[in-house]
A = this chain, B = another copy of it.
Amino acid sequence: MRSAACREGCMVFLKNCWYMAGWSEELPAGALLARTFLEQPVVLFRRGDGRPAALLDRCPHRVAPLSRGTLVGDTLRCIYHGLRFDAAGQCVENPHGAIPAKACVQGFEVAERDGILWIWMGERTAADPARVPDLSHMARVPAAAQSRGSMPSACHYQLIVDNVADLSHVEYLHATTLGGGAFVENRPVVSESGDEVVIELSSHGRNAPPVYDRFLPQPGVPVDFVNRVTWVPAGLLKLDISVTPLGMPREAGLQTFNAHIVTPETRTSSHYWYWLTREYRQDDAEMTRLRHELMTRVFIEEDKPIIEAQQRLLGETDLFDAAPALLATDAGSIRIRRIMKQLLVREREGRA
């Protein structure tokens, strides 16, 4: 079913990296949260001390979903025949006799930071806590200036990464909402830093996009506009935007820190979370609400239909295997895919 391109290219998922599994508050104490990541069913829960844990959501006895079971202290009991597993996936009780050697279920490393649960779908021993993404600059923002949302999307996660990596689309897809001209008059500068890719677009001396202009101390003035996307493998896109009236210090302008975080669910569906924070008017909860509503509408009504249409037209073909015409604005996407390919090769060889 999978083409050679698919087997080699981006259609295969990188396993050894941290993927967002959900917001911390989606996993209250005592809850069992069932989600599919990288085509694997996973059940998430918290130990008695609050630390999150994740197991393959499939009992090794008769493949019942463990997420239908019950939490007993730090362990999870299968609802079907009562096997009980600890947070590492080892069976610790078989009510029907001795514990069989095969009675263990795959466990996954989970980390929690800045209100986000991160899961490592690859080798447990390779999971590096130091590499859990740091979004503390956003977590520090007062609650009144923060908002979070999610938009499950029927597409391969890479199409969402492509969408954010090439923001020139705001001038067309979001012409009436976010556009303003800056993204066609200027070209992004793409750079790498370790495995990360930074795509920075700046304009000097033109008005701010309308969506920012009206919040400037004095609207209608020329500004320095900087839009920086930082991609962290495989699914984190940090989006920092600053709008500064010419000749003023950056603090006098407007600054937002945002994150778009994507985790593959299957090859044709993705978890998609977004987090919006703001460095100005941080006590204006109404502005936060309005900005959240605007962005949510833009994502759902403008981005989602296009991205899902791409998926339908591509089927199981990777976009870059479809011999697309490439534009200057694709530089970021191309760099990201090149690094993904290297990471996949590295992961494969590390195993061999």
| Chain A interface residues (CB < 8 Å from chain B) | 41, 58, 60-65, 68, 77-83, 91, 94-97, 100-103, 162, 166, 168-169, 171-173, 184, 187, 305-306, 309-310, 313-314, 319, 322-329
Contact = CB atoms under 8 A, between A and B. Distances in A.
Contact of A80 (B79, B80, B306, B328): B306
A309 B102 contact: no
A171 to B, nearest CB: 6
Nearest to A303: B80
A328 B61 CA distance: 11
Given A41-B313, A325-B103, A328-B97, A319 B62 contact: yes
A63 B314 contact: yes
Which of A78, A94, A96, A171 has the most C-beta atoms of chain B within 10 angstroms of its own C-beta? A96
A61 B324 CA distance: 5
Question: When A and B form their complex, which 7 residue pairs have the shortest distance between CB atoms, in order from nearest?
Answer: A102-B325, A103-B325, A82-B172, A97-B328, A100-B325, A60-B325, A96-B327
Contacts of A314: 63
Given A63-B313, A81-B168, 14 more contacts: A60-B325, A62-B324, A63-B314, A63-B319, A64-B306, A65-B313, A80-B172, A82-B168, A82-B184, A95-B171, A96-B328, A97-B327, A100-B325, A100-B326
A168 to B, nearest CB: 6
Contact of A78 (B78, B101, B172, B329): B172
Given A58-B313, A162-B62, A305-B68, A81 B324 contact: no
A41 B315 CA distance: 13
Contacts of A102: 323-326
B162 A322 contact: no
A167 to B, nearest CB: 10
Contacts of A62: 162, 310, 319, 324
A325 B61 contact: yes
Contacts of A65: 306, 309, 313
Nearest to A95: B184
A271 to B, nearest CB: 19
A187 B95 CA distance: 11
Contacts of A327: 61, 81, 83, 94, 96-97, 100
Nearest to A184: B95
A173 B62 CA distance: 13
Contacts of A309: 64-65, 68
A76 to B, nearest CB: 13
Contact of A322 (B41, B63, B68, B306): B63
7 contacts: A60-B325, A62-B319, A80-B169, A96-B187, A97-B327, A101-B325, A102-B323
Contacts of A58: 313
Nearest to A60: B325
B325 A168 contact: no
Contact of A306 (B68, B168, B173): B68
Which of A41, A80, A103, A166 has the most C-beta atoms of chain B within 10 angstroms of its own C-beta? A80
B329 A172 contact: no
